[in-house]
C-alpha cells in the first residue's frame, strides 16, 4: 500500500512509520504545522519537526511539512477559547483529531493518492460485523481511543494505528533497535499550545477577558476568591485557596456571568445522567448496558443510552450507579468492552 | 528489523524550474575554483609566496567582477552572499548609518527585515510589484522636511531591487535615481540585483545605484559567495569588524575559491547572456501560453509574455526566465507535493524554516495595489540549460496534476468525520473504502 504517516517527531509515530516500512509499504511521512505560537512541547515546535525529519531520513522515507495552522486556529484554538469563556472545559486533542488529523489530513492523503493514513496513536482498529471501529490499545495505560472517538466508519477503513498492538516499552525497544533518535524522547502530556510556564491563563488572557470571582459555600457564605472564573472546572477540588479547614470541598457550580463559584461536599456532585451533544455513532446505537468513559485517563463505568436523536446529535447517558458529574465540554465516549461505539460532548449532568 | 529500500515516488525525469532558488555550479566555475580548494590554499592576508598567489587570484577575480558590474576593482567587496551584501548596504554597517532607510514592500526579506529592525519606511508598489515613485517622492520630501525641522532623522538610504525574486518584474533605477537627485540629493541608492544578475546587464541597468548586491549561486557560481559594490562616493562602515580585509570594509579571511568561482561564473554568464535570454524567453513564453490555455484556468500573474520589453516603463517588463502563475481552485500544498512527485521542481509561496508554505509578502503587496492574486501561486523559473523537452514535460505534469486536483475538488471522497459533531452521519453498513482512483503514480 501507499501510506501517508503523520510523523510528529515522537517515538510512537517514528516506530509506526518503521513498522510500515518493514512491512514493505511505500511510506511517505508528513509533519503537520499546527501552531505558530510559543510551545514547549507537543507536535508543533521546530525541534519536533527536526526530529521528525531526521527520523524519516533514518527510515529512508520522504518527509514533508503541511501547514494546517489556519485550520487549527479556527477549529481547535478558537473553540477552545470560546468554551472557556462560556465556562466549559474543552478537550482540544479530541477536536484536533476530529478536524485536523482525521478530516483535513485524511482528505489530503486521499487527494495525494495515498491508500491509507497512519498515525502513532495507541489505539487499534477492529472489525465488528464488517464495520471498522476504534478500539483500546494493547497498552491500556497508554490507550488513546478516548480522544479518537470522532473517528468512525468509513474513515476507519483508511486509517492505521501500527503501534496500537504494542506496549510503550515495546515501542521504545523497537526504536532503540532501529537507532531512532526519538527512542528516549519523553512522551508529550499536555495541550500542545499551552506552555508549562504560562499555563492556560497566559494563553487565554490575551484572547478573551478573564474575570475574578467570588467563591461561596452552598449556603452562600464567602470562602475565597479566584483570579479567573473561566478557568474553574466543575468538580475541581485542588487549586482553590479556601479559607478555613474542615471537610474536602469541590466546585459544585460555576456561574461565569455572575462571577461566582460554589463549593460544597462531594455528595453534592453526585449525578445519575449526563446529556450529550454532537454525538456520533459508529454503527447502531446500543440498546443494552455499555461502559462509558468521561476523561482521557479515567475508567469506564456502566451505563445505558437513552433519548437518542441521531439527526440532532443528542443522547443521554444514564449511569447504573450515581457518580460525580461530568464537566461540560468534556468528551463522553461509549464502549462495548474495548470497542468505541460512539461519543459526544457533555452538557448538563442531572 | 529489516528496512527494505523505498520505492522512489518521483518519476525518473527531473525538470528544474526553480532556478530563482539556486542553480547548478557551472563547469567553468568548478574548474576555476578547484585549485583554490586544494593546492593554492593561501590566505591573501599573509606575507609569503603562497599568500601572494592567493592575492593575485583574488585581484584577478575582483577585476573581472568590476568589469562586468561596471565599477572600479576597489569598489568590489566580496561577501558571504546576497543577504550579507543587502544587510550591509541597507544598514550602512556597524554602527548603522543615521537616518531612516526606505524600501518598497516587495523587497527581499534581507532588505525588508533590515529596514524594519532599523525603524525604516516601507513604500507601496504597483500591481506588478514595482516601486511607486510618487510614494517615494512624497516620503522622501516628508523625511527631509522632518529632518530640517529637527523633529526626526532624514532618509539614510533607498533600497530598490533591480528585479523581483518572485515575479521577475524589473524596476527602473534611473527613474528612482532621478527622484532622489530631485528630492533628496546625497541619499545613497542601493539595489539588490541578485535575481537580475543572471539575465540583465547590471552594468547598464544599475549604473545609477551607489551600491549593488549580487549572489554567485544564482548564475552558476558557488553558494555562499556574493559581492557588494560600494562606489567610492558612499560612506559605509564595516558590518563585520576585525582584521580589516577588503579595504577595511569586510573583515574575515576572504574565500578565494568563492570569489574566483563567482568571477568565472559571471564571465560565462555575461558572455552569452543576450542569446541565452532570448532563447529562454522563447521557452518561457511557450510554457506560459500552454499552461494558461483553456481549460486549465491557470493565469499569468502579470499577464506578461513579452521579451524583450518594448520600453522601460512597460508594465509587462519581466525577467526572461520567470513565469509566475495563479492556479484557481487548488491548494498550494497538494499542488507542490504532486508536482514534486512528478519530477517538476517549482516554487510556491516562500518557504519558512520548517518547510511549510507561508503566504508571500510580494503577492500581498501587489494585492494591496489592486492585483487579483486568488489561487495557488506557482513560480516557474527556467535556466540556461532548460530545453524544449523540459517544457513539454512540465506542461504535461502540470496539466495532469491540476486536472487531478480539480477532479478531486468537484468529486471529493465522503469525509470521514463531519465538520462538527452536530450533524452526525448515520453510517451505512460496510462503508465503502476510499480513493478516487485517478493519478496513482
Higher pLDDT: A195 or A23? It is A23
In a domain, A208, yes or no: no
- Of the candidates A247, A264, A281, which is a domain's last residue? A264
To test the contact with chain B by mutation, choose from A65, A111, A130, A277 the residue with the greatest count of B C-beta atoms within 10 A, namely A111
Radius of gyration of chain A, Cα coordinates, nearest whole angstrom: 21
Model-level pTM? Answer: 0.85
A44 catalytic per annotation: no
CATH 3.40.640.10 residue ranges for chain B: 27-270
B148 — pLDDT class (breaks 50, 70, 90): low
A21 contact residues in B (CB cutoff 8 A)? 3-4, 6
Is the pLDDT at A204 greater than 80? The verdict is: yes
Tell me if A157 and B434 make a contact (CB, 8 A cut-off).
yes
Res B12: pLDDT: 77
**Is A279 found in the same domain as A254?**
no
Instruction: Assess B418–A contact: CB distance below 8 Å, yes or no.
Output: yes
Whether a cis peptide bond, with omega within 30° of 0, leads into B308 is: yes
**Is A161 found in the same domain as A88?**
yes
Is the pLDDT at B299 greater than 90? The verdict is: no
Instruction: Name the residue among A183, A189, A148, A139 with its Cα closest to residue A9.
Output: A183
B11-66 pLDDT, tens digit each: 578 999 999 999 999 999 999 999 999 999 999 999 999 999 999 999 999 999 99
Nearest to A153 among B431, B435, B441 (CB): B431
Q: Name which CATH class applies to B273-410.
A: alpha beta
**Is A54 found in the same domain as A11?**
yes
Q: Which domain holds residue A68?
A: 2-177
CATH 3.90.1150.10 residue ranges for chain B: 273-410
Res B413: pLDDT: 52
Is the pLDDT at B354 greater than 90? The verdict is: no
- Here the contacts of A121-126 (C-beta below 8 Å, separation 24 or greater) are A121/A12, A121/A148, A121/A161, A121/A163, A121/A164, A122/A12, A122/A161, A122/A163, A122/A164, A122/A168, A123/A148, A123/A161, A123/A164, A124/A161, A124/A164, A124/A165, A124/A338, A125/A156, A125/A159, A125/A160, A125/A161, A125/A164, A126/A338, A126/A339
**A220-229, A313-322, B420-429 — which one is most confidently predicted on average?**
A313-322
Instruction: Kindly state the average pLDDT of the residues A234-260.
Output: 83
Instruction: Kindly state the average pLDDT of the residues A316-327.
Output: 95
Higher pLDDT: A174 or B357? It is A174
Q: Which residue in chain A has the smallest CA separation from B9?
A: A26
Is the pLDDT at B356 greater than 70? The verdict is: no
Is the pLDDT at B420 greater than 60? The verdict is: no
**Is A153 found in the same domain as A100?**
yes
A243 — pLDDT class (breaks 50, 70, 90): low
**Is A134 found in the same domain as A42?**
yes
Q: Which residue in chain B has the smallest CA separation from A79?
A: B420
Res B315: pLDDT: 41
**Is A148 found in the same domain as A231?**
no
- Of the candidates A116, A150, A177, which is a domain's last residue? A177
Tell me if B415 and A107 make a contact (CB, 8 A cut-off).
yes
Which CATH number characterizes residue A297's domain?
2.40.30.10
Instruction: Kindly state the average pLDDT of the residues B315-319.
Output: 71
CB of B66 closer than 8 Å to CB of B227: no
A45-102 pLDDT, tens digit each: 566 888 899 999 999 999 999 989 889 999 999 999 999 999 899 999 999 999 999 9
**Is A143 found in the same domain as A24?**
yes
**Is A300 found in the same domain as A239?**
no
Is the pLDDT at A44 greater than 90? The verdict is: no
User: Cα distance from B340 to chain A (closest Cα, Å)?
Assistant: 11
Is the pLDDT at B429 greater than 80? The verdict is: no
Tell me if B416 and A151 make a contact (CB, 8 A cut-off).
yes
B9 contact residues in A (CB cutoff 8 A)? 2, 26, 28, 62
Res B338: pLDDT: 96
**Is A33 found in the same domain as A145?**
yes
In a domain, A324, yes or no: yes
Q: Which residue in chain B has the smallest CA separation from A342?
A: B424
Res B98: pLDDT: 92
* Number of domains chain A is built from: 3
Is the pLDDT at A240 greater than 90? The verdict is: no
User: Cα distance from B52 to chain A (closest Cα, Å)?
Assistant: 44
All three cell numbers of B193: 540585483
**Is A113 found in the same domain as A80?**
yes
**Is A11 found in the same domain as A107?**
yes
What is B27-270's CATH topology? 3.40.640
Res B308: pLDDT: 40
All three cell numbers of A80: 477552545
Separation between Cα atoms, residue A89 and residue A80, nearest integer Å: 8
Is the pLDDT at A103 greater than 80? The verdict is: yes
**Is A341 found in the same domain as A228?**
no
Is the pLDDT at B185 greater than 80? The verdict is: yes
Contacts of B143 (CB under 8 A, 6+ apart): B99, B100, B102, B121, B152, B153, B154, B155, B184
Mean residue pLDDT of chain B comes to: 86
- Of the candidates A114, A147, A177, which is a domain's last residue? A177
B4 contact residues in A (CB cutoff 8 A)? 21-22, 24
Res B240: pLDDT: 98
Tell me if B422 and A278 make a contact (CB, 8 A cut-off).
yes
User: Among residues of chain B, what percentage have pLDDT more than 70?
Assistant: 83
ipTM entry: 0.83
Mean residue pLDDT of chain A comes to: 91
In a domain, A195, yes or no: no
Amino acid at each position: 500500500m501507499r501510506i501517508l504517516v503523520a510523523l510528529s517527531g515522537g517515538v510512537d509515530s517514528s516506530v509506526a512509520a518503521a513498522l510500515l516500512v518493514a512491512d514493505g509499504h511505500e511510506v511517505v511521512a508528513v509533519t503537520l504545522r499546527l501552531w505558530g505560537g510559543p510551545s514547549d512541547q507537543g507536535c508543533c515546535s521546530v525541534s519536533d519537526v527536526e526530529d521528525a525529519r531526521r527520523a524519516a531520513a533514518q527510515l529512508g522515507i520522504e518527509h514533508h511539512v503541511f501547514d494546517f495552522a489556519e485550520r487549527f486556529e479556527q477549529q481547535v484554538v478558537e473553540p477552545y477559547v470560546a468554551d472557556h469563556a462560556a465556562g466549559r472545559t474543552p478537550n482540544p486533542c479530541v477536536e484536533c483529531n476530529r478536524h485536523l488529523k482525521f478530516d483535513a489530513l485524511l482528505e489530503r492523503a486521499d487527494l495525494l493518492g495515498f491508500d491509507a493514513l497512519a498515525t502513532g496513536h495507541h489505539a487499534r482498529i477492529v472489525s465488528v460485523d464488517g464495520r471498522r471501529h476504534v478500539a483500546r490499545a494493547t497498552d491500556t495505560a497508554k490507550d488513546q481511543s478516548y480522544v479518537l472517538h470522532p473517528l468512525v466508519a468509513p474513515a476507519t477503513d483508511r486509517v492505521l494505528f501500527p503501534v496500537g498492538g504494542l506496549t510503550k516499552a515495546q515501542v521504545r525497544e523497537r526504536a532503540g533497535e532501529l537507532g531512532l533518535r526519538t527512542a528516549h524522547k519523553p512522551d508529550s502530556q499536555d495541550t500542545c499550545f499551552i506552555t508549562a510556564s504560562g499555563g492556560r491563563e497566559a494563553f487565554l488572557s490575551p484572547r478573551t477577558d478573564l474575570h475574578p470571582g467570588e467563591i461561596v459555600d452552598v449556603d452562600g457564605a464567602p470562602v475565597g476568591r479566584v483570579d479567573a472564573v473561566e478557568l474553574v472546572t466543575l468538580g475541581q477540588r485542588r487549586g482553590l485557596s479556601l479559607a478555613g479547614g474542615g471537610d474536602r470541598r469541590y466546585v459544585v457550580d460555576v456561574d461565569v456571568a455572575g462571577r461566582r463559584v460554589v463549593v460544597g461536599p462531594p455528595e453534592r456532585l453526585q449525578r445519575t445522567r449526563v446529556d450529550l451533544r454532537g454525538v456520533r455513532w459508529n454503527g447502531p446505537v446500543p440498546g443494552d448496558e455499555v461502559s462509558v468513559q468521561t476523561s482521557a485517563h479515567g475508567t469506564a463505568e456502566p451505563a445505558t443510552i437513552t433519548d437518542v436523536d441521531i439527526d440532532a446529535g443528542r443522547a443521554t447517558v444514564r449511569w447504573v450507579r450515581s457518580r460525580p458529574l461530568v464537566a461540560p465540554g468534556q468528551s463522553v465516549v461509549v464502549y462495548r468492552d474495548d470497542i468505541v461505539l460512539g461519543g459526544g460532548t457533555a452538557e448538563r449532568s442531572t | 528489523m529489516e528496512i527494505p529500500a523505498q520505492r522512489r515516488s518521483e518519476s525518473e525525469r527531473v525538470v528544474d524550474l526553480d532556478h530563482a532558488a539556486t542553480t547548478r555550479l557551472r563547469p567553468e566555475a568548478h574548474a576555476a575554483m578547484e585549485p583554490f580548494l586544494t593546492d593554492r590554499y593561501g590566505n591573501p592576508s599573509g606575507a609569503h609566496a603562497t599568500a601572494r598567489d592567493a592575492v593575485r587570484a583574488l585581484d584577478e577575480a575582483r577585476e573581472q567582477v568590476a568589469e562586468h558590474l561596471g565599477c572600479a576593482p576597489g569598489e568590489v567587496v566580496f561577501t558571504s552572499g546576497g543577504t550579507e551584501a543587502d544587510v550591509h548596504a541597507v544598514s550602512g554597517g556597524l554602527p548603522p548609518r543615521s537616518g531612516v532607510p526606505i524600501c518598497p514592500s516587495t523587497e527581499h526579506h534581507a532588505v525588508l527585515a533590515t529596514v524594519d529592525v532599523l525603524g525604516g519606511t516601507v513604500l507601496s508598489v504597483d500591481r506588478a510589484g514595482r516601486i511607486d515613485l510618487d510614494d517615494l517622492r512624497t516620503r522622501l520630501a516628508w523625511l527631509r522636511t522632518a529632518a530640517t525641522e529637527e523633529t526626526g532623522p532624514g532618509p539614510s538610504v533607498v533600497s530598490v531591487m533591480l528585479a523581483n525574486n518572485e515575479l521577475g518584474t524589473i524596476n527602473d533605477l534611473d527613474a528612482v535615481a532621478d527622484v532622489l537627485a530631485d528630492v533628496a540629493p546625497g541619499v545613497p541608492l542601493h539595489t539588490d540585483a541578485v535575481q537580475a544578475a543572471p539575465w540583465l546587464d547590471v552594468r547598464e541597468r544599475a549604473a545609477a545605484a551607489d551600491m549593488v548586491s549580487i549572489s554567485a549561486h544564482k548564475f552558476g557560481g558557488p553558494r555562499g559567495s556574493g559581492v557588494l559594490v560600494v562606489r567610492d562616493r558612499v560612506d559605509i562602515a564595516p558590518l563585520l569588524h576585525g582584521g580589516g580585509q577588503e579595504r577595511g570594509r569586510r573583515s574575515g579571511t576572504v574565500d578565494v575559491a568563492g570569489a574566483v568561482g563567482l568571477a568565472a561564473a559571471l564571465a560565462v554568464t555575461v558572455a552569452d547572456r543576450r542569446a541565452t535570454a532570448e532563447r529562454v524567453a522563447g521557452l518561457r513564453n511557450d510554457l506560459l501560453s500552454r499552461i494558461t490555455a483553456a481549460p486549465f484556468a491557470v493565469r499569468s500573474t502579470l499577464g506578461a509574455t513579452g521579451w524583450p520589453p518594448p520600453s522601460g516603463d512597460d508594465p509587462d517588463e519581466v525577467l526572461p526566465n520567470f513565469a509566475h502563475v495563479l492556479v484557481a481552485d487548488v491548494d498550494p500544498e497538494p499542488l507542490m507535493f504532486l508536482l514534486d512527485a512528478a519530477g517538476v521542481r517549482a516554487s510556491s509561496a516562500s518557504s519558512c524554516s520548517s518547510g511549510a508554505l507561508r503566504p508571500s509578502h510580494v503577492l500581498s503587496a501587489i494585492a494591496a495595489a489592486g492585483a487579483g492574486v486568488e489561487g495557488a501561486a506557482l513560480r516557474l523559473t527556467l535556466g540556461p540549460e532548460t530545453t524544449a523537452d523540459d517544457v513539454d514535460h512540465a506542461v504535461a505534469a502540470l496539466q495532469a496534476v491540476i486536472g487531478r486536483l480539480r477532479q478531486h475538488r468537484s468529486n471529493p471522497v465522503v469525509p470521514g468525520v463531519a465538520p462538527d459533531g452536530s450533524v452526525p452521519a448515520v453510517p451505512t453498513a460496510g462503508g465503502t473504502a476510499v480513493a478516487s482512483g485517478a493519478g496513482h503514480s
